[in-house]
Amino acid sequence: MFILSAEEVKWAEEIWQKLDGKLQVVTKRSCDKFPFWSENGLHDDMKDENINCWTNGFWSGINWLMYVGTGKEAYKKTALEGEKLLDKALSRPEMISHDVGFIWMLAARPDWRLTGNHQSWQRLKVAASYLMGRFNPEGGYVRAWDWGKDNMEKVGWTIIDTMMNLPLLYWASEDCGDPRYKFVAMKHTDMVMRDHIRPDGSVYHIVVHDPFTGEAVEKRGLQGYAAESSWSRGQSWAIYGFTLGYLHTGEQEYLATAKKVAHYFIAAVCEDWLPKSDFRSPKEPVYFDSSAGLCAACGMLELAKIVPEYEKRLYVHAAMKLLMNIEKNFADWSTDTDFIIGNSSGWYSKEQNVNIIYADYFFTEAVYKLKNFEPLFW
């Protein structure tokens, strides 16, 4: 565990009450939606546009967190509705990607964990099998995207984002008693350590591999500024993903890598604790990505629980600085709007200063952690 100062405890309590006050209203307004971002302050809905969108589990995730933290049935009802609607996504395997962990670990795992709903277990098992099916045994990696006319050119692509989907495979091994899923997750993680993480702790977004040998043949950027830059949300996926990998396996190399990437992130953001979209982009224009800071904060709070006592405060301090400064500068507590945290970035080259559902999710999860409620996900 980690210890918060009296000021931090007070802040967390006040923010939790604000979250409950706003989300009671927003949950009623968006009870049957799959929000991606907010347009004119109100949630859009990906339900019909893209039922397989990688963000479609985050709204259920927010509502599960609020249900466990408050006991209010409206949150549970909304979370369950989202989980059931996602059955349409499982019925379209041609549209399922590496992001099934983001979707079903947030939408279905809490239901299975809290209620023992066997349908939730089945959803998770099917999703885990889809993710397992993307594994290239010769290359030793889980393949990323399938989309686009150049689909065949992407057979060797891996992306840092997949680290946050691997807990679905660990769940399958732990809950279904099949070690193969864990072996795949660890093979992929070992590849990421070797090919995606630079010596200074910065991260490559995309690595292109020879699909027959696994050799890395090219490094690319996509959502960041450039191939050799440092996309901040990619950094956060690595911090949290390697931390979770350590929690599921006990592999010390995973813990050391999580810390190395976290130290790079802290050094890059500590001037004002407002993460830029890319840590190696030009000074102008300034693009922020609050979602990167919030995901990193979640990872650092988990790190603080498992490192030696003298290291804990480093990660708690950084997480609290990120949370408090992002909330102070980018939060919207009006009940007339649906989003909570603004100034996120989908891509460096587009989708700047937007309100994205996963920023709200990671903010809620981080405050949930500060309140010491029972773990739900990952």
Whole-angstrom CA distances from 154 to 143, 151, 299 are: 8, 5, 29
- The burial class, CB within 10 Å (0-12 / 13-18 / 19+), for 241 is buried
- Name the active-site residue from 44, 111, 161, 338: 161
Side chain identity at residue 146, one-letter code: D
DSSP of 89-155, one letter per residue? HHT-GGG--TTHHHHHHHHTHHHHHHH--HHHHHHHHHHHHHHHTTEETTTTEE-----STTGGGGT
Q: Which position among 32, 44, 99, 175 bears the catalytic label?
A: 99
Q: Taking the CA atoms of the chain, what radius of gyration do you get in angstroms?
A: 19
Q: Residue 25's beta-bridge partner residues?
A: none
Q: Which of 207, 325, 306, 328 is nearest to 262 (CA)?
A: 306
User: How does DSSP classify residue 346?
Assistant: S
Euclidean distance between CA atoms 327 and 212, whole angstroms: 47
Answer whether 275's CB lies under 8 Å from 288's CB.
Answer: yes
b/e code 6-30 from CB counts within 10 Å (16+ = b): eebeebbeebbeebeebbeebbeeb
Q: Give me 204's structure tokens.
A: 């490559």
Whether 146 sits among the annotated catalytic residues: the reply is: no
Which of these, 288, 361, 363, lies nearest to 320 by C-alpha position? 363
The separation between the first and the last C-alpha atoms of the chain, rounded to the nearest angstrom, is 18
* 32 is a catalytic site residue: no
User: Mapping DSSP to helix (H, G, I), strand (E, B) and coil, where does residue 82 land?
Assistant: helix
Active site residues: 99, 161
